[in-house]
Copies of this chain bind each other. A is one copy, B any other.
Amino acid sequence: MIVATTIAELKQALKEWRESAPSTARVGFVPTMGFLHEGHASLMRRSKAECEYSVLSIFVNPLQFGPNEDFDRYPRDAERDLALAEANGIDLVFMPSVAEMYPKKPVTKILISEVTERLCGASRPGHFDGVGIVVSKLFHLVQPDRAYFGMKDAQQVAVIERMTEDLNIPVEIVPCETVREADGLALSSRNVYLSQEERAQAVILSQTLKAAETWVKTPGMTKRALSDKIESSIGQASLAEIDYAEILTYPDLEEPDAAADLSDYEGKLIIALAVKFGRTRLIDNRLLELRGGGIHV
């Protein structure tokens, strides 16, 4: 496994591989912020299974953190990350410094509207601008055929799919299922922030989402009524503070008709949660494919 910390090293490694590989060989790419867990590992294994060469990037991107967010304390463990990458079939790791990625202040911004209006786009202003520029830079540097993203960040997937479509970036975005702990908590590098009690209560997100899948089938269930049930369910966890709990169409992330009977809805809906436990903000979601009169996940 090659570890590149500069763009020149990355390009050299890719060039050498491409020159020796057949022209049909594919490059798979897993962009991450490091502190890797089994969720990331599942993306790496999928890349390994589907592509001839797998690239992982580890870069905590300052531009996607707000001024009061956790950029400085975001957990890092390069040594463990590299061992996990190697164990999961990665061929090349790109691990640049901030100065390598942003040698000067970029004057170019990528602004994505509409799909960023709600959820994390609303509660983290500027977040998706930062995601847009860094993902675009990484795609240009690695030039992958496929890029793997976890559906825990469902809005990020929707944003990146729309950006690559709008800009004709030649990469296939592959959304991958969220990986969970045994009790249902979605894996996240931020889970390490949780105290023991917070960790115990954090299971309320996945439990509520699972219950909501049943609630939505109740005849006459409106968006408002479903929201109320979701919020009161999360409220059972005494330490939980709701940032948002929304029911939206997917992948456009628009509000469904407020008066509609959701049990009759046909199409994809996403129930998306962001909940704070102390200073730690967790997100989770469930994508429901509804065909009217019932549910088929």
What is the interface of chain A, defined by CB distance below 8 A to chain B?
A: 7, 18-19, 23, 106-115, 132-133, 136-137, 140-141, 143, 162-163, 166-170
Contacts and interface: CB of A to CB of B under 8 A. Distances in A.
Contacts of A107: 112-115, 162, 166
A111 B112 contact: no
A166 B104 CA distance: 8
A73 to B, nearest CB: 28
B111 A166 contact: no
6 contacts: A107-B162, A109-B112, A109-B113, A136-B167, A140-B170, A143-B170
Contacts of A136: 167
B7 A168 contact: yes
Given A19-B23, A109-B111, A110-B110, A141 B166 contact: no
Contacts of A163: 108
Which 8 pairs show the lowest CB-CB distances between chains A and B?
A108-B166, A106-B166, A140-B168, A107-B114, A109-B111, A137-B168, A107-B113, A108-B163
A109 B168 CA distance: 13
Contacts of A111: 108-111
Contacts of A18: 23
A64 to B, nearest CB: 16
A170 B110 CA distance: 17
A60 to B, nearest CB: 18
A132 B114 contact: no
Nearest to A18: B23
Contacts of A170: 140-141, 143
Contacts of A110: 108-111, 167
Nearest to A19: B23
A143 B112 CA distance: 23
A122 B141 CA distance: 32
Contacts of A113: 107, 109
A176 B106 CA distance: 25
Nearest to A114: B107
Nearest to A117: B107
A140 B115 contact: no
Contacts of A19: 23
